[in-house]
Structure formats: structure tokens, C-alpha cells
Amino acid sequence: MNRMLIATVLVGMGMTAQTTQAAQAEQTLVSQGEYLARAGDCVACHTAKDGKPFAGGLPMETPIGTIYSTNITPSSEGIGQYSFEDFDRALRRGIRKDGSTLYPAMPYPSYARLTEPDMQALYAYFMKGVTPVQEPNKDTDIPWPLSMRWPLSIWRGVFAPKPEHWQPLPERDPVIDRGAYLVEGLGHCGACHTPRALTMQEKALSAEEGDAFLAGSAPLEGWVAKNLRGDHKDGLGSWSEAQLVQFLKTGRSDTSAVFGGMSDVVEHSMQYMSDADLTAIARYLKTLPPSNPNDTPHVYDRQVADALWKGDDSKPGAGVYIDNCAACHRTDGKGYTRVFPALAGNPVVQTQDATSLIHLVLKGGTLPATRTAPSNFTMPAYGWRLSDQEVTDVVNFIRTSWGNQGEPIEVKAVKKLRTSDMKQTSGDDLGQVTEH
């Protein structure tokens, strides 16, 4: 009897240990999935303003009308009935459980290369780590017949890549390979930073597909997603790997600061990523050559700084700059490290399209607080006090001073942006609606 009792106890202890191990393994998988969901910034698109996380309902403007992000919580209104196969097919192929095709605002062409382990972890998180929300999905505001979904299957067949799990390249540095996976796949950086064709597909999904990859977008909701290639003028050519890591983690570097849609990426995603992954992203981006083969490094020119120091504000826009900008960005255009970004040599102020700079002058912006940089800094809006001509003058002053090589803008560009609701998309981009 005693032997039977001991045996029963031992079996019970073994089963308990196995149950505990299984629970720990499941929790580890859920935690891994949570990290991956943050890296993919899923919450940004699938959460409406003041809505519950992942419950959908965020409006997204497209050239054919407004669509709304879907509920991806594990409820009957969301993805609660999705098997792993359904989940995989939606993320990597763009096909819903009912067999219809998702709109290309969902970056499934990038997710097509996610690995099997990462897919399993994401599924575990969304099924067991996300709170279910009974929030019905919203119908699109796209008029018929453009609202019909069957043409999307044709688009998917023509433009979406065949889903293939990521395979590391043995000849490539493992750190760079990890960065390529995060940038081209889970992070779907190209969804914003790569220009789209008139048929709405990204012109390149990887560095191997051409120089258009991450070469910068057309204006979208009042912002330009900048060039992430090696150009000095308007890309990352002047950035070091360390500066880029710092920027991704905190939203600020020694010379720059985050703005627009990228603020959400830093706030909801990048600040939670490991230093190893951020380093991998930065190192990979630094391997991308410039789009412009004739690109040259910025050379600082003291002429304007010296003139302002002597009280000479005769250059058009100089007086407006002194009155409104110089206190933070300084007369030499070098700003204050990690607080107010430098304007001299700043790639954002030298982009071919000056929309972002005009937008900042008109509407202002706030640098988000992060865990390692918990302070907010706000640039006030000047649209209420500056005329269209004054905004034009100061933008041109910034774009052509201290060695900057930006092309001058015309006053009509300011007039257009001032009166715009900034919700429209260009013909080659898709994106979220931003409230102003």
C-alpha cells in the first residue's frame, strides 16, 4: 500500500512539473509574441483614437476612400475564431478567414517573409495575451463599385510576393541579416518610406529590388517619410550607427528629433526594442547606398551665422527666423543637443519636398517622452501669427542657410498646406488619418 501511495505521489508530482513547464513555455511564447507585436507596431494601426488596444476602427485614407482597421483581439468580433492557419494566411498572404483579400494598407507583402517561430509567437500573444474586445468592424467609406473586394485578389496575385519564411544569408553579417529581417519584414519600414506606384504597390520590397527601397515617400497627411538610404543631403549618410540607435530608442539624437507618424513608431514600438535589435536595424540601414550617386556630405557655411551675429538680417526670412526660431535653434543653426534639433545639415529640411518643414512651422509638434528620455519638448505652431509669405521666407531661409542645399519653395505650397485638412493621400501612398 505504501509503495502504491509513493508511486501515485511521484506520478502526480511529475504531472505537476510537466504542467508547470508547459505553462512557463506558453508564457514565454506569449511574451515573445508581445515583443514582436511591439516591433511590428501593430497597436498603431489597430487602435482607434481613445479606443481599446487592438480593437480596430482607426480611419485610413486611401486614394479611393476611407477604410478602417479591423478588430484583432481574440473576440468573436475579432480574430477569436481564427486558427493558426487562418492567422498565418491573413498576415502573410493578405487573405481573411472568409477568403476575401485584405486592402494593401495591411503590409502583408512585408509580413510574407516572417519566420514560422515568430508567427507562432504572435499567434500565442494575440490569442492569450490580448484582452478580447467586442467591437464590431466598421464598413469602408469607399463607394461602389470601388468597394468590391474581388479586384484586390487580382492585385494580390500580381504585386504581392509569394510567402516564404526568412532565410538568413550565410555570407552576410548575422547582425546585418537580423536588421534586414526587421526592416524588410516585421518592421515593414517600406510601407511608409518606400514610394508606391499608381497601382499602390511599393516600388521595391527589399534592397535587392532597386534603389527605390526606402528612398522616401511622397507627402502623406502633411508629412514626408524621409529617405533612409545613404544620401547625405536628405538621407542617413551623415548619421553614425550610434546616432541612429539613439534616435530609434528615444526619438532624438545629437542633431535631430522625431516628428509626425514616426513619433508613434518610437512611442509605441522602437523604445521597447532591445539594444541588439536597434543596433541591427541601424547597421543594416547604414549598408544602403545613396539614391543619388552624386551625393556629397554637408559642408557647414558660416556666412549666414556671422551675418546674424553682426545684426545683419537682410537675407529674406532672416528677420522671421530671429524673432521666432533662433532662441531654440540658434543663429548658427546648430540647435541644442537632444533638445532642439540642428537645422544646419539636417536632412529633413533639405528634402526635395518641403512639406514636413512647412507643416512643422504651421502646426508645430511635440517630441514624445520615452522610457530613457522622459521629457517632452514642444515646438509651438506659428501658423496663427505668420503670413503665408513669412512662412515661405523662413522655410527658404532654413533650407538655404549654413550650407543647406534645399530648393526654395513658392508661397502657393504654404497656402495649399495651410488650407488642407491633411487627411488626403498622394497617388502613391497609403496611410492613417491624423487629427489636427
End-of-domain residue from the set 167, 189, 216: 167
Q: Which residues pair with 67 in a beta bridge?
A: 60
Judged by average pLDDT, the poorest of 251-255, 397-401, 417-421 is 417-421
Please report whether residue 433 resides in a domain: no
- Could you give the angle at which helices 84-93 and 116-128 cross, rounded to 10 degrees? 120
Mean pLDDT over all residues of the chain? Answer: 89
Q: Which residue has the cell 521666432?
A: 324
Mean pLDDT confidence for 240-268: 90
Q: What's the CA gap between 316 and 303, in Å, rounded?
A: 14
CB-side neighbour CA atoms (13 Å) of 257: 27
Predicted pLDDT at 9: 57
Please report whether residue 184 resides in a domain: no
Please report whether residue 98 resides in a domain: yes
Total tally of structural domains belonging to the chain: 2
Please report whether residue 67 resides in a domain: yes
End-of-domain residue from the set 126, 149, 167: 167
Predicted pLDDT at 22: 78
Please report whether residue 279 resides in a domain: no
Does the pLDDT value for residue 427 go beyond 50? no
Mean pLDDT confidence for 330-355: 92
What percentage of the chain reaches a pLDDT higher than 90? 70
Q: What Rg value do the Cα atoms of the chain yield, rounded?
A: 25
Does the pLDDT value for residue 253 go beyond 90? no
Contact assessment for residue 193 and residue 107, using Cβ atoms and an 8 Å cutoff = no
Please report whether residue 339 resides in a domain: yes
CATH number at residue 369: 1.10.760.10
Contact assessment for residue 365 and residue 252, using Cβ atoms and an 8 Å cutoff = no
- Interval 193-213: pLDDT, tens: 999 988 889 999 999 999 999
CB-side neighbour CA atoms (13 Å) of 79: 31
End-of-domain residue from the set 126, 145, 167: 167
- Interval 29-39: pLDDT, tens: 999 999 999 99
Please report whether residue 212 resides in a domain: no
Predicted pLDDT at 230: 95
Please report whether residue 273 resides in a domain: no
Does the pLDDT value for residue 424 go beyond 50? no
- Interval 140-187: pLDDT, tens: 888 877 778 888 899 899 999 999 999 988 889 999 999 999 999 999
Hey, what's the cell of 424? 488626403
Hey, what's the cell of 265? 513608431
Predicted pLDDT at 426: 38
Predicted pLDDT at 83: 96
Q: What are phi and psi of 88, to 5 degrees?
A: -65, -40
Q: What are phi and psi of 196, to 5 degrees?
A: -110, 150
Range of the domain at 416: 303-424
pTM of the model as a whole = 0.89
Contact assessment for residue 408 and residue 400, using Cβ atoms and an 8 Å cutoff = yes
Cβ neighbours of residue 400 closer than 8 Å, sequence gap 6 or more: 406, 408
Q: How far are the Cα atoms of 26, 69, 266, 370 from residue 51, in angstroms, in the given order?
A: 28, 12, 20, 21
